[in-house]
Amino acid sequence: MKDPAKLTDRNSPPPVNVADEGGDNLSFAAFIKHLPGVTFIKDAAGRYIFANSGWEKLFGRSAAESVGLTDFELFPEDTAREFTANDAAIRKTGEARAVYEDVITGGERRHWLVSKFPITDATGKVVQVGGVAIDVTTSRRAELALSKREQELNKAHERLHFHLFNSPLAVVEWDGDFRVIRWSGRAEAIFGWTGPEVRGFHPDDWAFVHPDDRESVAEIMRQLVEGDVPRNLSHTRNLTKDGCIVYCDWYNSVSLGKDGRVQSIFSLVDDVTERVHAQDEIVRLNALLERRVERRTADLQAANAELEAFAYAVSHDLRAPLRAVSGFAKALAEHTGSSTDETGQRYLGLIQSRAARMGDLIDDLLQLSRLTRAAMNIEHVDLTALAGEVAEETAQAHTDHAVEVKIAPGMAAECDLPLVRILLQNLLGNAWKFTLNASNPRVEVGVCTPNGRETYFVRDNGVGFDMRYVHKLFTAFQRLHSQAAFPGHGVGLATVYRVVRRHGGTVRAEGATNAGATFYFTLCPEPETTANPPL
Amino acid sequence: MTQKIIMLVEDNPDDEELTLLALEKNRILNEVVVARDGAEALEMFYGDGPDTFSARGTMPAVVLLDLNLPKVSGLEVLQRIRREASTRMLPVVILTSSKEDKDLIESYAHGCNSYVRKPVDFEAFVQATRELGFYWLLLNEAPPRTP
């Protein structure tokens, strides 16, 4: 009833002419005709026998034109089928009922609430079906929209519920008094208690928080309930139903009502027990490793100290008896004088000279052991200058033959100066020694860059060596020449090897019998390790 | 002028005999007082027996001191010599087999006047002894007697 006044206006025109209606029914017919809705009557065959003005207006054809026609002659087939089906139900049951029927008018589908009722003859047989229809499109549409939204809302809620409860994080929701109202499947899996077992419980109501963490949990809860923070995180030890400790990260947030009161607290719980255990394990292993390193370091220091003591003993105690051997042999030679024959004198001389050589050998060995122990001091070294100095010293020590020296300009390296000096002393000393019989003795110190690495070399044109024995070159006490031809101790190249290794570099030799030798070395580590002879 | 005394602190009898032999070969005929360990050396300086330097009213012109000694080490003897007023200026030559850097550094740090490594070869040893004797007994001016 939108506008009762208008309704009254419409009722005011004079009596209307209605087909087949007698004058005595005039007022009733007028009443029917001007009902705000649409009214109609169909006979047993579904033919219209009456339609009111509302009907005429709605479908744009007069009642007179429509009478005698069926729905199938008036409307599209699916519409007609719907109407007749509803009519049939009335005829069959003999009871009135209200149905929704849709009709397309003016290109628009509209909804009608149609009250259909049976009209019976004297015997009670349904002979006609009457109907009163009201346009309910607006409310029907609103209703449908509402229902659709409700469905969508339900679906969204279901999805949310599904995701929350299948989340790897447990979901626990508390009311404003911190009592459990929601307890997800994952919460059950982590803690062992089922939802029904804990619903309505406050955390203090059951053995849920580790006793040592109760205080901090109480503080976390207080902050949330009293509105200090809208959300917080707590790392808490919880107890499972079995009494086991689980380490949990609780992400809590508060939902406030319009009145500012806490409606609920929502907690997402991450079981981090494994992570905590793994971290504990890392800490434990680190401590273990540290203790091991400490022990090894102590062992190493002890071993170094022992080595030092050993070297000291060698230097001191081994030389003293040698000095006595040498000294008393000399004293004996002088003491006996002419009473010792030539052979005897030669023997005494041999004793002295071998004692002296053993003294040198001890010195060389000491130097070798010092090379290993000495602290490294890496600095920028002018190798060209250093090689020049060492060559000059070597030349002065070997006045028996002159050697032509060629040293490449501009060589420099980051290395330990004293160690590299010893290296060059050994290599140049060898070069001098082994060029003794060369017709035109020559030594060259230079640098090349195979594979982009600075590689230094010392080359001579001396007696060389047989490449078959190259693997023995750098091993202590291994010699490739007889003592008579070239005296030596077999420590020089072992010393070179150690100096190079202490710099992380590599050394190798090339040579041929009577065709000279070249020693290549680097003074810094290289990514790939090439085969080096063991020392 | 009283003859200059050489003090030899040496525990090894071989080395003692060889040193004496080397001195003899070099015709260095000064008196040699031998202490066979560090404690004996200290006794000679600071004791009150009849064989002490104070009892004799003299001090050695030079001390030839081995480092590796029983009881009291050579370094400890050197430290004591430098600490005591009566011996503070005494010329001390370390005569040892060692040429470890550590020994060199400590000896000089504690105030030795010279550091000589005993050569293994006897000829070299004789020559070293000759040069030591020449330098410390003839060339070097000893400090004045401590009052």
Q: Do A327 and B96 touch (CB under 8 A)?
A: no
Q: Do A355 and B121 touch (CB under 8 A)?
A: yes
| Whether pLDDT at A230 is above 80 | yes
Res A485: pLDDT:
65
Res A5: pLDDT:
40
| Whether pLDDT at A140 is above 80 | yes
Give the residue from B11, B103, B121 with the most A CB atoms within 10 Å of its CB, the best one to mutate. Answer: B121
**Rounded-to-integer distance, Cα A122 and Cα A132, Å:** 23
Write out the E strands in chain B.
6-9, 32-35, 62-65, 92-96, 114-117
- The model's confidence at residue A178, banded by pLDDT at 50, 70 and 90, is very high
Q: Do B21 and A320 touch (CB under 8 A)?
A: no
Residue predicted with more confidence, A456 or A530: A456
How far, rounded to the nearest angstrom, does the alpha carbon of residue B26 sit from its chain's CA centroid?
A: 17
| Whether pLDDT at A38 is above 80 | yes
Give tens-digit pLDDT for A272-295.
Answer: 999 999 999 999 999 999 999 999
Res A20: pLDDT:
47
The ipTM, to two decimals, is: 0.75
Tokens 């409860």 appear where? A165
Q: Average pLDDT in the A307-329 region? A: 81
| Closest CB from B14, B22, B68 relative to A316 | B68
In chain A, positions 297-326, which contact chain B (CB-CB < 8 Å)?
A: 311-312, 315-317, 319-324, 326
Mean residue pLDDT across chain A: 85
Q: Do A320 and B15 touch (CB under 8 A)?
A: yes
- Output the 3-class SS for A426-450: HHHHHHHHHCCCCCCCEEEEEEECH
- The model's confidence at residue A416, banded by pLDDT at 50, 70 and 90, is very high
Res A183: pLDDT:
92
Residue B97: list chain A partners with CB under 8 A.
315-317, 319-320, 323
| Whether pLDDT at A532 is above 70 | no
Domains of chain A: 35-135 (3.30.450.20), 167-271 (3.30.450.20), 289-359 (no CATH), 375-521 (3.30.565.10)
Q: Do B18 and A320 touch (CB under 8 A)?
A: no
- The model's confidence at residue A476, banded by pLDDT at 50, 70 and 90, is low
Res A1: pLDDT:
42
Q: Do B99 and A352 touch (CB under 8 A)?
A: no
The DSSP 8-state label assigned to residue A209 in this structure reads: B
- Choice among A11-15, A163-167, A333-337, A339-343 with the minimum mean pLDDT: A11-15
| Whether pLDDT at A306 is above 80 | yes
Res A10: pLDDT:
46
Domains of chain B: 6-138 (3.40.50.2300)
| Whether pLDDT at A6 is above 50 | no
Q: Which two tokens stand for residue A198?
A: 């804990």
Give tens-digit pLDDT for B21-76.
Answer: 999 988 888 999 999 999 999 999 999 888 899 888 889 999 999 988 888 889 99
Residue % of chain A over a pLDDT of 90: 43
Res A30: pLDDT:
78
| Whether pLDDT at A14 is above 50 | no
**Chain A with chain B: Cβ pairs closer than 8 A:** 63
The DSSP 8-state label assigned to residue B72 in this structure reads: S
Tokens 């009335």 appear where? A90
Residue B100: list chain A partners with CB under 8 A.
311-312, 315
Q: Average pLDDT in the A140-169 region? A: 88
Give tens-digit pLDDT for A68-119.
Answer: 999 999 888 999 999 999 999 999 998 999 999 888 888 888 889 999 999 9
Res A17: pLDDT:
44
Res A514: pLDDT:
85
Give tens-digit pLDDT for B80-109.
Answer: 999 999 899 999 999 988 777 788 999 999
**Rounded-to-integer distance, Cα A273 and Cα A284, Å:** 16
CA angle centred on A119, ends A118 and A124, rounded to 5° = 100
- The model's confidence at residue A477, banded by pLDDT at 50, 70 and 90, is low
- The model's confidence at residue A447, banded by pLDDT at 50, 70 and 90, is very high
| Whether pLDDT at A242 is above 90 | yes
Res A7: pLDDT:
41
Res A65: pLDDT:
86
In chain B, positions 85-124, which contact chain A (CB-CB < 8 Å)?
A: 96-100, 118-123
Res A173: pLDDT:
93
A332 within 8 A of A350, measured Cβ to Cβ: no
Give tens-digit pLDDT for A478-521.
Answer: 666 766 666 666 778 888 998 998 898 999 999 888 888 999 99
